């Protein structure tokens, strides 16, 4: 049975809207037991330990990475030959933190922490060459992403399946409408989900 490892983004959590919508859909399909959405530590090295632990519990899951989670997912997909769906993924995030070192607050838990040069160095250590086995990746981008320039991901993942939508934002508007494509990519038989009205999960918001 296909398993799923959802990897949230920077200062995010399993309480994010996409994570909650995804889990609700998987519960509806009877697949919740095959889903892991770990609450990641802010330090990349500790986050990777958590992700490796989740991988050990699952049988070659489909990775779903949002923003910074897309960067983590790419590193793991390349390391283990896994499939991944990347949602507005960060490309080389260690190069994006100029002027942002210092106090941070998690959007959902309210926990505060300090972004340091060591965090940035740890992210740099995870960088991998642009994927060449494009069949293992779907990369979902929205052009009005206010946080990341979608063109960086378009270039980096040029060998992969790109799904680029005009407009939207960094959170990826109407994420649930794309879940049939994700389930098909994961190899879930269409008879299990083709009659589901995924728009019902749009009403699930973040905490």
Q: What is the CATH number of the domain that holds 185?
A: 3.40.50.1820
Quote the CA–CA distance of 204 and 207 in Å, as a whole number: 9
pTM of the model: 0.96
Q: Could you list the residue range(s) of the whole structural domain that residue 197 is in?
A: 4-203
| End-to-end CA separation in angstroms for the chain | 30
Counting the structural domains of the chain, the total is: 1
pLDDT digits (tens, 9 = 90+) for 18-42: 999 999 999 999 999 999 999 999 9
pLDDT digits (tens, 9 = 90+) for 105-131: 998 999 999 999 999 999 999 999 999
């Amino acid at each position: 049975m296909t398993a799923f490892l959802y990897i949230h983004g920077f200062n995010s959590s399993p309480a994010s809207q996409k994570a909650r919508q995804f889990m609700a859909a998987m519960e509806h399909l009877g697949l919740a037991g095959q889903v892991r959405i770990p609450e990641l530590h802010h330090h990349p090295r500790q986050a990777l330990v958590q992700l490796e632990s989740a991988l050990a519990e699952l049988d070659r899951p489909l990775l779903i990475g949002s923003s910074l989670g897309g960067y983590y997912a790419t590193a793991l997909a390349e390391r283990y030959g896994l499939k991944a769906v990347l949602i507005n993924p960060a490309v080389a995030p260690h190069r994006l933190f100029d002027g942002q070192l210092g106090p941070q607050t998690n959007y959902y838990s309210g926990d505060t922490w300090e972004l340091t040069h060591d965090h940035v160095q740890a992210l740099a250590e995870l960088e991998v060459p642009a994927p060449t086995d494009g069949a293992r990746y779907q990369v979902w981008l929205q052009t009005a992403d206010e946080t990341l320039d979608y063109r960086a991901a378009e270039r980096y993942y040029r060998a992969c399946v790109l799904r680029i939508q005009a407009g939207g934002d960094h959170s990826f508007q109407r994420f649930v409408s794309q879940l049939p494509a994700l389930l098909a990519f994961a190899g879930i038989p269409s008879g299990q989900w083709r009659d589901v009205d995924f728009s019902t999960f749009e009403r699930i918001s973040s905490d």
